[in-house]
Amino acid sequence: MSLASLAMYVSPPPVKEATGLFWAALANRIRASGLDAPATLNDDIRYDEAWLRPDLLFGQTCGYPYVQRLREHVQLVATPVYGLPGCDGPFKCSFVIVNAQSPARSIEDLRGARAAINDPGSNSGYNLFRAFVAPHAVDGRFFSSVTETGGHVASIDAVSSGTADVAAIDCITFGNTLRFDPDRVAGVRILAETAKGPGLPFITAATTPAKDLVILRRALAETIADPALAEVCDTLSLRGISLLGDSDYEALAALDRAAAGQGYPAIA
């Protein structure tokens, strides 16, 4: 049996529920095309463990780990198009947030502040954030401290509670939270937007045959366009897909190199 895992956008609860419903419909369509697909998503393994599983039929990764270490091990299926602020087709930014009471009006006002990051392997919470800060760093430093929170929601909470001064939040996570858990973002405000980059791609194992990849892409597009799934896709803010290639994701690796070239190889 093949593996399906969609663990990148699973909060707040309405998003998690809609993700399960979306996969059930997509899996039915895939099976109707003659390709076996699991009826339910696998929630028993870590999101990043699924990426390198040889039996991965359908998953979603972040663009930064894709360019760092997954390129040779997975195939791009498609990049989702979300209809939330900060998105432009398949491209998206991160929102640089501060506490709602912060007097900061620009990134320069945050020199010496305490930063929160979700994970050093994240594009939205780290790579785009580093590219945003890099021109302002001096001798490889800008912040007084950097705390790794383990997730975007935890970073929002850190800024809201005052244990951190600034973080960069994926605009889709921020939009989902604003829609379905507005109290969580009531204590923060958006200071700025980072540069945009290609969003989180749907992937399949490198060993997935080309004919099966065609089936996956067609089933995905048809499922999103299905009027019966309109409410589910609206909950997910899912509008369509774009067939981006490896060269499109190279832009994220270029941001990594540019920050290093500016003497800011790590957020510090």
Going from N- to C-terminal start, the domains of the chain cover 3-83+198-253, 91-196
pLDDT computed for residue 176 by the predictor: 98
Give the C-alpha separation, 217 to 223, whole Å: 10
Give the C-alpha separation, 104 to 192, whole Å: 11
DSSP for 7-30, written as a single string: -SS--SHHHHHHHHHHHHHHHHHH
Alpha helices in the chain (DSSP H): 13-32, 47-51, 63-65, 128-133, 152-161, 171-180, 182-185, 210-225, 230-236, 246-261
For domain 91-196, the CATH architecture is 3-Layer(aba) Sandwich (3.40)
77 neighbors 204 (Cβ within 8 angstroms) = yes
pLDDT computed for residue 194 by the predictor: 98
Give the C-alpha separation, 97 to 144, whole Å: 17
What six digits make up the tokens of 18?
Answer: 């809609």
Give the C-alpha separation, 263 to 199, whole Å: 26
Give the C-alpha separation, 223 to 96, whole Å: 33
pLDDT computed for residue 47 by the predictor: 86
Nearest to 151 by CA among 73, 27, 48: 48
User: What's the pTM value of the predicted model, to 2 decimals?
Assistant: 0.96
pLDDT computed for residue 1 by the predictor: 82
What six digits make up the tokens of 158?
Answer: 């850190």
Q: How many helices (H) and strands (E) does the chain have?
A: 10, 13
**Beta bridge mates, 79:** 242
The pLDDT tens digits along the chain (268 residues) read 899 999 999 999 999 999 999 999 999 999 999 999 999 999 998 889 999 999 999 999 999 999 999 999 999 999 999 999 999 999 999 999 999 999 999 999 999 999 999 999 999 999 999 999 999 999 999 999 999 999 999 999 999 999 999 999 999 999 999 999 999 999 999 999 999 999 999 999 999 999 999 999 999 999 999 999 999 999 999 999 999 999 999 999 999 999 999 999 999 9
3-83+198-253 and 91-196 in the same fold: yes
Fold of 3-83+198-253: D-Maltodextrin-Binding Protein; domain 2 (3.40.190)
Give the C-alpha separation, 162 to 102, whole Å: 10
Give the C-alpha separation, 28 to 104, whole Å: 50
Query: Rounded to an integer, what is the distance from CA 210 to the centroid of its chain?
Result: 26
**Predicted confidence (pLDDT) per residue in 39-52, tens digit:** 999 999 888 999 99
